[in-house]
Amino acid sequence: YSESCPQTYYNCGGPGTLQPGVTLSCSFGGTRYIDQVRVSGGCNDGESGSYTFSFSDGSSATVSGGCNSVHSIAPRFASSATLYMNSGGGGDNNISWTCCGSSGWGIYYK
């Protein structure tokens, strides 16, 4: 991939809460070159979790993070993604998406 296309953030969901075992999906409206993902839950109380992103090309990436954490992943081409929360949360077993202007999860693509 050699073109210098600007990177765009695609917001896949929020506000709300996410619990371990819950899956969320989004479509990008076309095939995109994806090299980063963002998790922005837990901004109200510092909670974090482990997440697996599964892409329409059959690939996946697992990351751990909390408030507005951006993670570089191996580049891939995909038209949709699914987020699965493996573990995380706090005493309420939830990770919220609403505090501090955060809005769920998303994909950076070119």
Instruction: List pLDDT tens digits, range 1-30.
Output: 445 666 787 777 766 677 788 888 889 888
Integer CA distances (angstroms), 55 to 35, 63, 86, in order: 12, 14, 16
Give the pLDDT score at 62. Answer: 94
- Give mean pLDDT, residues 62-78: 86
